Amino acid sequence: MSTLENTSSYSSGPSSPATSPASPSAIRRYAMDANRERPQQKKWYSHFVNMMKVLLPVVALLLIVLIMVWPYLKTQDLRFRLNFSALSVGDTQDPSMVNPRYLGIDKDNQAFSITADLARKLAAGDSDVELEMPKADITLDDGTWLVLTAENGVFKRLKKTLDLAGAVNLFHDSGFEFRTAKASIDLGKGAASGSVPIRGQGPFGDLQAQGFRMINKGKTILFTGKAKLRIFPGQKRPGK
């Protein structure tokens, strides 16, 4: 007699699922998104490169033009420039500038400057300026300098002239010094003159005269009217 055995087995409970790879549809979507972004990036980069190709030559051209015209701009700036440290506007009818400074050049392109404690416009719309305690510094061709000071002055910017009054002092760095009550300075031509008594002194003597005329930026000074000169014995002229 044969015996029939049941060899089938039965297990209960859920089985642990295995980790499945990404689905093909997800991979396709990722690839499509990446391909869609790449042309946009290329388009932006191409636009940037094209813009730089135009912009960089333009900037270079502007720099070259600026370098070429800068000396002329600088010269014009020296001719007409007036700086001041403070502006008093308490009285709008009489505006004043504190510590003004004017820089310019004469007909020979030599620099000069005018400073003062205070400056006021003489009239509305007028370029003439009234100065308190003005000081003019003039550079000469040989590198020396000439300084003029006074209690008051009127600076005519368009004409480049300066009228000084009150304790006018003219000093040359070679040692000459002159004092008078009034003097007119032509900054553009490097000349000065006065028609009132003048007294002066230098390394080799002193003098008195009824007036003076200075030409060639102080290289030559002519004394007018009755003049008196006293020479100190043993003194040498400057540069000798």
The secondary structure of 190-218 as a DSSP string is: TEEEE-S-EEEEETTEEEEESEEEEEGGG
Examine the pLDDT at 213 and tell me if it is beyond 70. yes
Mean pLDDT calculated for residue range 61-71: 79
**What kind of fold does domain 85-231 have according to CATH?**
lipopolysaccharide transport protein A fold (2.60.450)
pLDDT band, very low/low/confident/very high, at 163 (cuts 50, 70, 90)? very high
Concatenating the DSSP letter of every residue in 3-69 gives: ----------SPPPPPPPPPPHHHHHHHHHHHHHHHHHHHHHHHHHHHHHHHHHHHHHHHHHHHHHH
Residue 99 has a CB neighbour count (10 Å cut-off) of: 13
Q: Give the pLDDT of residue 2.
A: 40
Instruction: For residue 237, give the 3-state DSSP assignment.
Output: coil
Those residues with Cβ within 8 angstroms of residue 166's Cβ, 6 or more apart along the chain or in another chain: 150, 151, 152, 181
186 vs 95: which has the higher pLDDT: 186
Total count of residues recorded for the chain: 240
CB 225 within 8 A of CB 210: yes
